[in-house]
Amino acid sequence: MNEEKRSTAANALIWFGAAVSIAEIYTGTLMAPLGMARGMAAVVAGHLIGGFLMYLAALIGGLSGRGAMESVKLSFGEQGAKIFALLNVLQLVGWTAVMIIGGALSLGLILNPLLGTTNLLWCGVIGLLIAFWVMLDMKNFERVNKFAMAALFILTVVLSFVVFSRGETEAVSGTMSFAEAMELSVAMPLSWLPLIADYMRDAKEPRRSAAVSTLFYSVTSCWMYFIGLGVAIYTGGSGVAQIMAEAGLGMAGVAIVLFSTVTTTFLDAYSGGISFHTLFPQIKEKAAAVAVCALGTYIAATARQESYEGMLYLISSVFAPMASVMIVDFFILRENYAERSICLRNVALWAVGFAFYRLLLTVNCPFGATLPVIAATMLLTWAAGKLFPRK
């Protein structure tokens, strides 16, 4: 998809599509024990933190003209970047499978009673559509994506009306602290940190594209979380597909599930291909992306859906300290290790940030884990850069 420069509007549409996701709606339902007002506050607070890192990661890709894993080389070196490329491929195959499973379950809930089909069929349909999105060239991709985004916008407005017009609230069981909810909120934008530069490297206007893309994603993602909160609080359930079916949305509900799953999961598969290309340059990006899609589809068709709260926390613990090191290196220390094999200093700083995050998960920190980890890792990176500058 890098045959020509991509406009700011095209990037904004891509990240709008990334945010309209059944997974984000479902994550919003988990925050229902907080109530609507506190739940919404936690969502906004988490997205402010995650969006800040997402914007700077996008800006690094846009200003350097490098994809996500090529940008990582600037701070961690050739071999150091391969560590994160491998971790990124693994998380993206996992996300591809999770998204396909979620989409297939939702489609099945709406269509299986009518057609007598099974979820296995919908896994295959979604997988094929994602592969089709990957194989489009730039011109056709933008044309198809504009149509898909227009449809998604209209349909999600309808879904919002259906959910929030219920009026009566239901009792929601369970407990969740504000900090825990904030961590679930910040995890979604953090999951895009190792991807967003792949779409900024070809931006016509890097600074503008980074800002607009982050804004579109953050606002739309909050909207999806709010829908999830509404589903749980106003209906007492967690199945958005069931709500759509009960509301008689019919094919409109099918379109919401299908388009949102494909446009979000496309980013996972495509960036997984780019990261795989970093590990094995002889394999072309699109071919690797189709392979990621195929593997994710296979896992989705053969595995059971599990709670992914643990996966969200793991993603944050890996990529929040990684991005913190990169931001200080690029914008403050202005160091470049791309030509080196590995920068052990920065790998060690990342490891400290990772361990600190995992430690904070075991204590009841009122600020959550991500914000202290970002602050501590940035401070340590700046101090290490001053004490042990590059020779």
What average pLDDT does range 279-283 have in this prediction? 90
Percent of the chain with pLDDT over 90: 41
* Residue 1 confidence (pLDDT) above 80: no
Q: For residues 133 and 91, what is the distance between their CA atoms, to the nearest angstrom? A: 20
pLDDT for 310: 77
Residues contacting residue 345 through CB under 8 Å, at least 6 positions apart: 384, 388
In a 13 Å sphere around the CA of 233, the CA atoms on its Cβ side amount to 21
Taken in order 177, 37, 24, 19, the sign of the CA dihedral is negative
Q: Which residue has the higher pLDDT, 29 or 252?
A: 29
Q: Which residue has the higher pLDDT, 341 or 171?
A: 341
**φ, ψ for residue 19 (rounded to 5)?**
-80, -30
What average pLDDT does range 77-81 have in this prediction? 93
* Residue 151 confidence (pLDDT) above 80: no
pLDDT one-digit tens code per residue, 351-383: 999 999 999 988 878 888 999 999 999 999 999
**Helices then strands (H, E): number in the chain?**
15, 0
pLDDT for 57: 93
Q: Which residue has the higher pLDDT, 261 or 383?
A: 383
* Residue 244 confidence (pLDDT) above 70: no
Q: Which residue has the higher pLDDT, 149 or 133?
A: 133
Q: For residues 138 and 132, what is the distance between their CA atoms, to the nearest angstrom? A: 13
What average pLDDT does range 233-257 have in this prediction? 68
| Cβ count near 279 (within 10 Å) | 15
* Residue 42 confidence (pLDDT) above 60: yes
- Among 157, 176, 189, 172, CA closest to 45: 189
* Residue 2 confidence (pLDDT) above 50: no
What average pLDDT does range 307-332 have in this prediction? 87
pLDDT for 318: 92
pLDDT for 146: 73
Tokens representing residue 154 in the block = 């209209």
pLDDT for 170: 61
| Cβ count near 30 (within 10 Å) | 22
What average pLDDT does range 121-131 have in this prediction? 94
Q: Where are the alpha helices (DSSP H) in 165-205?
A: 178-191, 197-200
Percent of the chain with pLDDT over 70: 88
Angstrom distances, CA of residue 366 to CA of 60, 218, 348, 370, 376: 31, 23, 27, 11, 16
Q: How far apart are the first and last CA of the chain?
A: 38
* Residue 326 confidence (pLDDT) above 90: yes
Instruction: State the average pLDDT for the chain.
Output: 86
